[in-house]
Amino acid sequence: MNIREDILADVSASFSETYFEAREKLLDRAGSVSSYESPARGPADERLFTDVAWFGDPDAQHVGVLISGTHGVEGYCGSAGQIDWIRGGGPASLLPGQAMLMVHALNPYGFAWDRRVTQEGCDLNRNFIDFSKPIPHNQGYDELAEHLVPQELEGPTFEASETAIAKFREERGELAFQTARKSGQYRHSDGVFFGGFGPSHSRVTLERIAEEFDLKSRGLVVIADAHTGLGPFGYGELQTEQCSGVSGYERALAMFGRSVTSPDLGTSTSVLVNGSIDEFWERLLGGRHVYVALEFGTFDPENGRRVLREDHWLAKNPGTDASTASAIRRRIREHYDPRSPDWREMVLWRSRQVHRQMFEG
């Protein structure tokens, strides 16, 4: 079998078509697993879980953390990388003093329903602010809220919303628009990129995992959090976050090389965001952690804007006819999980490189 046939076989073995298939693959291969049940239920009233597996030295001072499903529907990619690591002999490659902690389906509701948000309607990667302090105010989002998720998806109301958005972009500039839309907002619970009114269940689950596996006592924790939807098709960008600052970027740069990007330097495809998951790791570990979001590109950003708009509109209109609802679900799934062999092959190659660099570093 040649190399291409090998990796395509690995693609088939590692990727899944549903959350439930992905979970079964993990449980079959991971051995001992700690399962954290969600209060949410699946499309057919199934139970949903975040599953956690520890590989290697239980007292390890150097711990890698692989996270899938922070953004629900993006979990197909991250789950495949996790399963491929196990199948490829990752556990046997760990040295004394090293361990890997695998967090599968951090947001199982979004994964099972092919939505980006949690059951609270929350963007988990905007939910890690300190809610005891003043909440970030997103004035730009407030101005556009009724237009970003309009009452209708066609007709005069929809066209008026698109006109208002075009005017905002022309007058304020593209960066201001993307910042208003994506940086996180904490007022409009049925809107896009809503960071929540308080800690979500998935956030509390991650906090429990970190406590129960005693991550705060470790010498170095390296986190790779898999995402999809930004950047060139199939390319895995290693994004750092502003909350870890330039020092966090430099730690990642030393470990992963010059493909690492930073919002502080303007090299990231992501805008600055509030409440990212790295805020949790920064509070917990400070300079004893390295965090990267492994972001795999898919399609045009305007397609991403459309599928999220439709997804949130559908959540506000649960009586929508089944054929329309199904079409909306298919489009958001395809944007965040392109089910083509070339994309999936690129995901596995890059994931393997990043996982290797985590421990070489």
What confidence tens digit (pLDDT) does each residue in 202-221 have?
Answer: 999 999 999 999 999 999 99
Would you say residue 354 has pLDDT above 50?
yes
pLDDT at 1: 44
pTM above threshold 0.75: yes
What CATH number is attached to the domain comprising 276? 3.40.630.10
Q: Give 151-184 pLDDT, tens digit per residue.
A: 999 999 999 999 999 999 999 999 999 999 999 9
Residue 265 included in any domain: yes
Q: Is the pLDDT of residue 101 over 90?
A: yes
Q: Which residues contact 261 (CB under 8 A, 6 or more apart)?
A: 237, 238, 239, 240, 267, 268, 269
pLDDT at position 2, please?
52
Q: Would you put residue 87 in left (φ > 0), alpha (ψ -120 to 50) or beta?
A: alpha
Q: Is residue 119 part of a domain?
A: yes
pLDDT digits (tens, 9 = 90+) for 177-195: 999 999 999 999 999 999 9
Q: Is residue 62 assigned to a domain?
A: yes
> Is the pLDDT score of 32 beyond 70?
yes
Q: What's the domain range around 237?
A: 3-133+198-304+329-360
Total number of domains in the chain: 1
Say how far apart CA 116 and CA 46 lie, in whole Å. Answer: 19
Considering the domain boundaries, does residue 140 fall inside one?
no
**Residue 53: strand pairing partners:** 102
For residue 5, name the pLDDT band (cuts at 50, 70, 90): low
Residue 155 lies in a domain: no
Q: How many CA atoms lie within 13 A of 184 on its CB side?
A: 23
pLDDT mean over 306-316: 98
pLDDT digits (tens, 9 = 90+) for 240-275: 999 898 999 999 999 999 999 999 899 999 999 999
Number of Cβ within a 10 Å radius of residue 267: 14
Q: Are 248 and 278 contacting, i.e. CB atoms less than 8 angstroms apart?
A: yes
